[in-house]
Amino acid sequence: MSALTFDKSELGNLEYSLQREMLATDRKGGYMSTTIVCCNTRKYHGLMVSPIDQTDEAYVLLSSLDETIIQHDQSFNLALHRFKGVYEPRGHKYITDFKYTPTPTITYRVGGVILRKELLWIHKRTQLMIRYTLVDAHSDTTLRLRPFFAFRNKHALSKANMEADGRAYPAKCGVKSKLYEGFPWLYLQTNKSDAEFVAAPDWYYGFEYPEEIKRGYDGYEDLMTTGYFEMKIKKGESIIFSAATDEVASAEAISEMYEASIARRTHKIDFLSCLHHSARQFIVRRPGGRTEMIAGYPWYGTVGRDTLMSLPGIVLEQKYKEDCLDVLDTMVSQMSNGNFAGSASAWVAADAPLWFYWTLQNLEKHISAKALWERYGEAMKSILEAYRRGFGEKVKMHANGLVWAAAQGEALTWMDTKVDGQPVAQRAGYAVEIQALWYNAVSYTLALARKMKDKAFVEAWADVPELTKKSFVEKFWLSEGYLADYVNDYETNDFRRSNMLVACGLDYTMLSEEQIMDVLSVVRQHLLTPRGVRSLSPRNPFYEASYAEDQRSEDKASRNGAIWIWPLMFYVKTGFAIAKERFLPEANDILAAFDEEIQTSCIGSISECFEGDPPFKAHGCLSQATSVGGLLYISDLISQWEKPEQPAKTTKTKATKATKAAKAEVVEEKVEEKPAKKCSAKKCATKATKETVAEVTEEAKPKRKCVRKKK
């Protein structure tokens, strides 16, 4: 039974359906995102949102596509839009079913007409395909498709103007449009040879995005339509619509591309398979051979800290070590003087480079220590040297062995949100998780250096860990039995925050087992919830119990009470380190608590954070790498401690059949397209259809059986 089940009777209830959003990506930085009834409620929603140049910034090209069924000269518009407080048309009343796997599928019923719509985002191409199948009809039926274009940055909004080119130009099997110079052509094609495109350029005004208005932003947009496709459709017939930045050669190629792509899609049959699919969406292959990780959809780009924090769960849990290596190689290639570039730089995120060692420690389980040292040893040493030299006086290792991070008006830790231009939690000085990450980084590098006989490095750094540990315990350990959050020249901050878990769960810790158990006790009492770990204790006067709708209130709560999943990695890791296999029941319960989350906000994925009080409503980014990666990391820890099950004696059970089916699936997104070879005249005679359809794939890795405790 699928883990994703939707109440069919509630699909027409907008309070139910508009809160559930879907996401599909092309693994190049582009995505499709909207609600399960295809009503856009955010400026970030769109059927085609994609980078158009080397900047990696994504643009909304195709905002939506309206479908209309025509019978006996009567029109039934299946679309749903919100215009300044009203919904028009109200096509959601015709929806009878929604399924997420293997691709988002909506079924409509209009009288005796049953129409099925399947949305498929093509991997490694900027292309959306939608297959419409007339399941049932008792009279002649016509299908009309009207596209709405935005051609704007995903963070902006489109307004009616005189500069937009509203014309549709002829193309094979359809038309092409480009509203503004500097954008690529968008090809709109169908596999229906007699489909007619009726040119009717016009602006539609006042599309309303209520989620943006709630956050205090402008939420009104004007969209351009260049006309509409109209075609006859017979009972049992399927018509495929394609929108792409590259022209498809023929109607046959459109059909073959769709069939080939849908056949390679994995089925999201349970909680873990949904998380695995979601995890693969974060890794993107950029132009120029760069491999990066998106921090979260739909509004984040690449964030260095989130990348290094999440990689072990996102890629290594599925044994995709090559993806991990490619991402790390991209980051290391951009280093200068021991510092990463962009958002991974210590200048803007004092802890970000130190998460590099956390990723490497997990990577070492998949490659040899020798290979790891040869590849990243120089980078490891140069980063430590950079901290010792200091990034100005802003971030620097002091003589006491601790790393100082402070700058006026800046937040240099992961709690970097600002309100009214000031950090919500500045935490200037020695922050607890930075000291933990620093000690772990130095200790791990020394361990590898000793193993690889790098005597010069060992001699230069051998005394640092003990110095750091001594200073840390003296400054951070509180008589109440937990760690201070940060320390500076005038304050020892005793706020109970999730950050102290990092000091417990890294491979190299400065705490005794007794101290760790005391910290866990405080965490359980003040911070642990069914959705993760609170960022601040509810007993603190600065605790924000819940979010308001506006962005300002959300930002304040995000670091002062909101629940985050990623600290759970360290809670569970520490639990296993202390209690061994006896911790399994609690770990399984922690993972099982997220079962319903994959179908309540972003379908098949996990949100950025949650409100600190029940019912722990999801907030922030809809699909977040640190959340998905954190849960998969916990799943991997559980699998390491679970006793392997004995193989069943029977060979033809439903379970074994399901396993074989899962193993036979093909995962197309993991493989780069091979570079085109120079062809001879004879080879060039090959049909364009074959050239278009041929894609490189690899066999899907076997899916692990979910080991979560059944309730």
Q: What is the mean pLDDT of residues 267-273?
A: 87
Q: What is the mean pLDDT of residues 180-190?
A: 96
Confidence of residue 548 (pLDDT cuts 50, 70, 90): low
Q: What is the mean pLDDT of residues 657-662?
A: 38
Distance CA 165, CA 263 (A): 37
**pLDDT, tens digit, 9 for 90 and up, residues 394-445:** 999 999 999 999 998 889 999 988 888 888 888 999 999 999 999 999 999 9
- With a pLDDT cut of 90, the percent of the chain lying above it is 77
- With a pLDDT cut of 70, the percent of the chain lying above it is 89
The pair phi, psi for residue 62, each rounded to 5°, is -105, 110
Q: Closest by alpha carbon to 107, among 94, 120, 121, 91?
A: 94
Q: What is the mean pLDDT of residues 533-551?
A: 85
**CA dihedral (476, 482, 486, 490) positive or negative:** negative
Q: What is the mean pLDDT of residues 36-55?
A: 92
Q: Is the pLDDT of residue 672 over 70?
A: no
Confidence of residue 287 (pLDDT cuts 50, 70, 90): confident
Distance CA 211, CA 40 (A): 9
Q: Is the pLDDT of residue 107 over 50?
A: yes
What are the DSSP E strand ranges found in 91-168? Answer: 95-99, 105-110, 113-122, 127-136, 141-153
Return the structure tokens found at 354.
Answer: 């130190």
Q: What is the mean pLDDT of residues 616-633?
A: 95
**pLDDT, tens digit, 9 for 90 and up, residues 300-344:** 999 999 999 999 999 999 999 999 999 999 999 999 999 999 999
Give the helix/strand (H/E) hosting 17: helix 14-17
Look up the pTM and report it: 0.89
Between strands 86-90 and 80-83, the pairing is: antiparallel
Structural contact between residues 353 and 346, judged by C-beta atoms closer than 8 angstroms = yes
pLDDT, position 650: 39
Confidence of residue 137 (pLDDT cuts 50, 70, 90): very high
pLDDT, position 4: 73
One-character DSSP codes across 322-347: HHHHHHHHHHHHT-BTTB--GGGSTT
Q: Is the pLDDT of residue 609 over 80?
A: yes
Question: Cα 494 vs. chain centroid, distance in angstroms?
Answer: 33
Gyration radius from the chain CA atoms: 27
The ranges assigned to domains in the chain are: 8-263, 657-699
The residues near 663 (Cβ < 8 Å, ≥ 6 apart) are 699, 700, 702, 703
Structural contact between residues 244 and 186, judged by C-beta atoms closer than 8 angstroms = yes
Confidence of residue 553 (pLDDT cuts 50, 70, 90): confident
Q: Is the pLDDT of residue 680 over 60?
A: no
Q: Closest by alpha carbon to 84, among 257, 262, 208?
A: 208
pLDDT, position 645: 56
Q: What is the mean pLDDT of residues 373-386?
A: 98
Q: Is the pLDDT of residue 136 over 60?
A: yes
Q: Is the pLDDT of residue 205 over 60?
A: yes
Distance CA 34, CA 37 (A): 8
**CA dihedral (411, 415, 419, 425) positive or negative:** negative
CB-count burial class (<10 Å; 0-12, 13-18, 19+) for 513 = exposed
pLDDT, position 143: 97
pLDDT, position 644: 65
Asked whether the bond before 89 is cis by omega within 30 degrees of 0, the reply is yes
The pair phi, psi for residue 629, each rounded to 5°, is -65, -40
Dihedral angle over CA of 666, 668, 672, 675, nearest 10: 90
Distance CA 343, CA 326 (A): 18
**pLDDT, tens digit, 9 for 90 and up, residues 446-498:** 999 999 999 999 999 999 999 999 999 999 999 999 999 999 999 999 999 99
Read off the amino acid at residue 333. Answer: S
Asked whether the bond before 585 is cis by omega within 30 degrees of 0, the reply is no
Q: Is the pLDDT of residue 686 over 80?
A: no
One-character DSSP codes across 23-35: EEE-SSS-EEEEE
pLDDT, position 426: 87
Return the structure tokens found at 291.
Answer: 């491999």
Confidence of residue 697 (pLDDT cuts 50, 70, 90): very low
What is the dotted CATH code of the domain comprising 8-263?
2.70.98
Q: Give the chain's mean pLDDT.
A: 89
